Amino acid sequence: MKKALSLLTVSAMAVSMLTGCGSSNTTATTAAPAATEAAATEAAATEAAAPAETTAATEAAAAATEAAAATGDVDLSDKKVGVCIYQFSDNFMTLFRNELQSYLESLGFKAENISIVDGANDQATQTNQIQNFITSGVDVLIINPVNSSSAATITDMVTEANIPLVYINREPDAQEEERWKADNMNVTYVGCDARQSGTMQGEIVLDLENKGDINGDGKVSYIMIEGDPENVDAQYRTEFSVKALTDAGVEVECLDDQVGNWDQAQAQSLVANSLAQHGKDIEVVFCNNDAMALGALQAIEAAGETVGTDVYLLGVDALQEACDNVKSGKQTGTVFNDHISQSHSAADAAVKYLTGEGNDHYIGCDYVKVTTANVDDILASLG
């Protein structure tokens, strides 16, 4: 019960402070009516004391209470959920899957009926896992694909078995999503638009007094450390972080663009090489995620440079360590990829398929820029 209340509190905080996930057909839910009633009562009491500051939180709690009451009428204890994660060692997906597991249990799924498997970043391995889930008779599948380009094959395999499917984190292309709508498939995607996260990285640089031009030569010289080049998130973050600068009239120069595959160690090596080649000409290091930003920081410090003085460093995800670095000045900024709202929305979508209610084919949410101005609030929501 304490866990259910904690989840509601965090979700309400995220909605009021961060503009979380949602669609016209999807509302955040919690585990038990008793817990949600207590949270709603607490929110109402707080509103009485300071209505201006708490209206959004109160509305979020009320919506969660209503949704939880509806879920409480459905017995989910015998329902089986298969969850495929592209790679367990990914920092962000570790946060995501742990939150997903907890939230599914809070909704009434039994722990033994929730199977989460590691694709080990290999599509053949993941495809075999999906086939095993189909054979075992799971009631719903939640899939974080190794390769987004495999979505059509995965979709056909799962829907032919008459199993509803929720994609998470790695978005299939627009043509595939149109197919779900055209064929009225029980398939949806839950996640954020990566173009927004890239744009926000660029905006963080634009908000700096010098707009990233440390040496004052009239242009921003940067290096880019990309995630998996096949992943649409990596593609969009790479493109739109720089586009935000050029759209604002800032001249840019790309000194290096390398693929770090979301990996901290790879990023450290790549940034070390770039620093050895370009030295203080590098003014901004863009990383498609925080794991790589952590590796970049190691390389920057090893080279005797200081973030904020010699170079600016940007990431995405708002990992705990990255946020701590933002607070201490060791990272210029990051972008909060709200794993709490996303995992909850994915679980809620799975429940709606099981109850026959259905979902929109796209359930989106917003990223949030994280700088020294709001990092304490983000850390509080993560805690």
The 10s digit of each residue's pLDDT in 220-267 is: 999 999 999 988 899 999 999 999 999 999 999 999 999 999 999 999
Terminal-to-terminal C-alpha distance of the chain? 18
- Give whichever of 68-72, 89-93, 229-233, 246-250 has the largest mean pLDDT: 246-250
Instruction: Give the three-state DSSP class for 328.
Output: helix
**Residue 217 to residue 328: CA distance in whole angstroms:** 28
Identify the CATH assignment for 81-191+341-366 out of 3.40.50.2300, 3.40.50.1260, 2.70.98.20, 3.40.50.880.
Answer: 3.40.50.2300
**Residue 301 to residue 305: CA distance in whole angstroms:** 5
Catalogue the E-assigned strands of the chain.
Answer: 81-85, 114-118, 140-143, 165-168, 187-192, 220-226, 252-259, 284-287, 312-314, 334-336, 362-365, 368-370
Are the CB atoms for 204 and 212 separated by under 8 Å?
no
Q: What is the pLDDT of residue 354?
A: 97
Lowest mean pLDDT segment, chosen from 22-36, 92-106, 307-321: 22-36
Overall average pLDDT of the 202-218 stretch: 98
What does the mean pLDDT of the chain come to?
85
Are the CB atoms for 320 and 43 separated by under 8 Å?
no
Whether the per-residue pLDDT at 31 is higher than 50: the answer is no
User: Which superfamily, per CATH, for 195-336?
Assistant: Response regulator (3.40.50.2300)
DSSP codes, 251-290: -EEEEEEEE-TT-HHHHHHHHHHHHHHHGGG--EEEESSH
CB atoms within 10 A of CB 253: 11
Q: Where does the chain hold its CATH 3.40.50.2300 domain(s)?
A: 81-191+341-366, 195-336
- Token pair 């390769």 in the structure block, residue: 147
* Length of the chain in terms of residues written: 383
Overall average pLDDT of the 124-141 stretch: 98
Q: What is the pLDDT of residue 381?
A: 87
CB atoms within 10 A of CB 11: 27
**For residue range 326-352, what is the model confidence (pLDDT) as tens digits?**
999 999 999 999 999 999 999 999 999
Whether the per-residue pLDDT at 57 is higher than 50: the answer is no
Instruction: Identify the bridge partners of residue 255 per DSSP, sorted by sequence position.
Output: none
- Token pair 């000194």 in the structure block, residue: 255
Residues of the chain with pLDDT > 90, as a percent, come to 77
Instruction: Give the pTM.
Output: 0.77
- CB crowding 211-235: b at 16 or more within 10 Å, else e: ebbbeeeeebbbbbbbbbeebbbbb
Whether the per-residue pLDDT at 295 is higher than 50: the answer is yes
Are the CB atoms for 131 and 157 separated by under 8 Å?
yes
